[in-house]
Homo-oligomer: A and B are copies of this chain.
Amino acid sequence: MARHSKSYTVAVVTIGNEVLSGRTADTNFFHLAGGLTDAGAEVVWHASCRDVVDEIGEALRMALRHARLVILTGGLGPTPDDLTRKVLAQVLERPLVLDDRALAGIRAFFDRRGVKMAPINEVQALLPRGSEVIPNPKGTAPGLLIAHEGLHVMALPGVPWEMEAMLKETVVPWLGERTGGGRITHLVLRTCGIAESALAEKLSEFERTLPGAATLAFLPGVAGVDLRVSFRGSPEEVEGQLSEVRAQLLAAAGDHVFAEGEDTLEAVVGRLLLHQHKTLSAAESCTGGLISERITRVSGSSAWFDRGVVTYSNASKTKLLGVKASVLKTAGAVSPEVAMEMASGMRERAATSIAVSVTGIAGPTGGTDEKPVGLVFMGLDWGEGAVACRFQLAGDRELIRQRASTMALDLVRRHLLGLPIKVLP
Q: Give the residue of B47, B112, B201 whose beta carbon is less than 8 angstroms from that of A374.
A: B112
How many copies of the chain does the oligomer comprise?
2
From A234-242, A306-314, A337-345, the one touching the partner chain is A306-314
Q: Which of A36, A197, A396 has the most CB of B within 10 A?
A: A197
Describe A's contact surface by its main secondary structure: mixed
In the bound assembly, the distance between CA atoms of A159 and B27 in angstroms comes to 19
Residue of B nearest to A204 (CB): B80
Tally chain A residues at the interface, Cβ within 8 Å: 117
Q: Judge if A129 is at the interface, Cβ distance under 8 Å.
A: no
Inter-chain contacts of A200 with B (CB < 8 A): 78-79, 120
Stretch at the interface among A87-95, A172-180, A216-224: A216-224
Chain B neighbourhood of A313, CB < 8 A: 302, 306-307
Interface positions of A from 177 to 221, Cβ below 8 Å from B: 184, 186, 195-198, 200-201, 215, 217-220
Judged by a CB distance under 8 angstroms, whether A32 is at the interface is yes
Flag if A307 contacts B297 (CB, 8 Å). no
**A312 and B316 contact, CB distance less than 8 A:** no
Within 8 A of B (CB), among A25-41: 25-27, 29-38
A215→B17 contact, CB < 8 A: yes
A24 interface hit (Cβ, 8 Å): yes
What residue of chain B has the Cβ atom nearest to residue A364's Cβ?
B299
A289 partner, pick from B1, B291, B312, beta carbons under 8 A: B291
Report chain B residues within 8 Å CB of A198.
118
Is A292 an interface position by the 8 A CB rule?
yes
A120: B residues at CB distance < 8 A: 197, 200-201
Q: Which of A62, A289, A313 has the most CB of B within 10 A?
A: A289
A78 to B34, CA, bound (A): 27
Given contacts A17-B217, A44-B20, contact A305 B309 (CB under 8 A): no
| A48-56, A248-256, A324-332, A413-421 - interface stretch | A48-56
Chain A 132-167 interface residues, beta-carbon cutoff 8 Å to B:
137-140, 159, 161
A to B CB contacts below 8 Å, 7 in the list: A2-B55, A26-B30, A45-B47, A46-B49, A289-B308, A292-B310, A306-B313
CB-contact partner of A395 in B33, B138, B197, B394, under 8 A: B138
When distances are taken between beta carbons in the complex, the residues of chain B under 8 Å from A372 are 112
In the complex, which residues of chain B have a beta carbon less than 8 angstroms from the beta carbon of A364?
299
Q: Are B365 and A219 in contact (CB under 8 A)?
A: no
